[in-house]
Amino acid sequence: MKNNELFLKAAKKFGTPLYLYDLRIVEERIKKVEDALKNVEHKVFFAFKSNSNVHILKFMKKMHLGADIVSLNEYKMAKYAGFKPNEIIVNGNGKKVEELIYYSKEDVACVNVDSKEEIEKVPKDVSLRVALRINPNVDAKTHPHISTGLKENKFGISLEDAKDVVHSFPSNLRLVGLHCHIGSQITDVSPFVEAIESLKKFVTEQNLKLDFINIGGGWGIDYLKNGNEMDLGKYKQEVVPLLKSFDLPIYLELGRYIIAPAGFLIARVTEVKKTAFKNFIVLDTSMSGLLRPSLYGAYHHVEFLSNGEKITADIVGRVCETGDTLAKKRKVPQPKVGDIGIIYDVGAYGYSMSSNYNLALRPAEVAFDGKNFQLIRRRETFEDLTRLF
């Protein structure tokens, strides 16, 4: 089925707005990751925050990925999806003592500790396998809100401070690895080279005996449709040899690279408004359905299944905020009311960051496996909105 037919069929069958995930694309992306890393022993953990639909998570498990979680609820969801504690890595800053105790009882694979304060927080009778999250002070050259490896960012511990920490670990905590995640939507390999080189130097100088190195996630995708995404050829050439030099298994925590391009937000046009200054195409989704453009000024490719004359328009939602703009100044065929618009690359940080702002109902989610559609989350209803009162 051609993509446009697929979008039309899905919209007809399930209504709009609708998140559609093409599982064939997920498989392709995982293959690309595996191919890039085939010369080094590794394990990929799926970053739940990017997409936590349990059906998607089960699919990731089927594809042999582990789970990277950042909250107790993500942990519970991982178990609910069928992941075993030894396939789950716990991330996040500012963890609560009771959470650390919980993870210890569960015997999770590893907790990435974010600070010396967190290490001190673990009660002495609580044992955990931990990896220390290093903040290598590397510029990931990405949006400031999704950069995490600079010294002014709240994450991790500096290499300077880590020198003392690694040699004074309390006996109830076993330091099994180093962790480092420098940011997200990174398309240039050089920040990875820089970060991994400094980890390597640290491991050598401090003479650390570890079980693995976890280099986090962050691989960027081609939102702009100009062919510029994480260059895996370059990654193989420049990063993989560095990873091999540790002579240890390498862990990765990938979200966006795997799932973003597989997701499409299908919406219908509710109005085409023309003013003396601008044209607006209004959709039946909004910043409540997809927050990235409003929050980061993020670019998502948009297409309309229309054949009108080309116009230049801002594509907006119906939320009462000027910031509710999904795309700016796009040259598109002028749609008619009821036509379908497709927002691309929303599989990661799309539904997972959606909200009920303006009491918008969250969209339905559907997976397509090449043959069949499966409704993997029903559309919210008004009753869902009143449930907690």
Mind telling me the catalytic residues?
A: 320
If binding is defined by CB under 6 A, does position 263 make contact with ligand LLP? no
- Candidates 210-218, 221-229, 336-344, 372-380; binding stretch for ligand LLP (CB under 6 A): 210-218
Q: For residue 301, what are the CA distances in angstroms to 85, 135, 253, 338?
A: 38, 33, 25, 20
Q: Quick check: 290 and 326 in contact, CB under 8 A?
A: yes
In whole angstroms, how close is the CB of 339 to ligand LLP at the nearest point? 27
* Angle CA 75–80–83, to nearest 5: 70
- Here the tokens at position 269 are 């046009």
Please name which of 240, 241, 230, 214 lies closest in space to residue 44, comparing C-alpha atoms.
Answer: 214
Helices (H), 170-218: 190-205
Q: Quick check: 157 and 90 in contact, CB under 8 A?
A: no
Prior bond of 136 cis (ω within 30°): no
Q: Which of 191, 255, 341, 363 binds ligand LLP (CB under 6 A)?
A: 255
CB-wise, 104 or 112, nearer to ligand LLP? 112
- Candidates 96-104, 248-256, 263-271, 326-334; binding stretch for ligand LLP (CB under 6 A): 248-256
CB-wise, 52 or 185, nearer to ligand LLP? 185
If binding is defined by CB under 6 A, does position 181 make contact with ligand LLP? yes
Q: Which of 253, 324, 339, 345 binds ligand LLP (CB under 6 A)?
A: 253
Q: Which of 66, 218, 261, 317 binds ligand LLP (CB under 6 A)?
A: 218
Distance (Å, rounded) from C-alpha 358 to C-alpha 286? 10
Instruction: For the segment 322-381, give every residue that binds ligand LLP (CB under 6 A).
Output: 348-349, 353
CB-wise, 53 or 184, nearer to ligand LLP? 184
Q: Which of 19, 26, 30, 50 binds ligand LLP (CB under 6 A)?
A: 50
Q: For residue 95, what are the CA distances in angstroms to 74, 114, 303?
A: 13, 9, 42
Instruction: For the segment 128-147, give every residue that binds ligand LLP (CB under 6 A).
Output: 146
CB-wise, 280 or 357, nearer to ligand LLP? 357
Distance (Å, rounded) from C-alpha 258 to C-alpha 244? 23
- Here the tokens at position 129 are 């396998």
If binding is defined by CB under 6 A, does position 91 make contact with ligand LLP? yes
If binding is defined by CB under 6 A, does position 114 make contact with ligand LLP? no
Footprint of ligand LLP (CB under 6 A): 47, 50, 68, 91, 146, 181, 184-185, 216-219, 253-257, 292, 348-349, 353
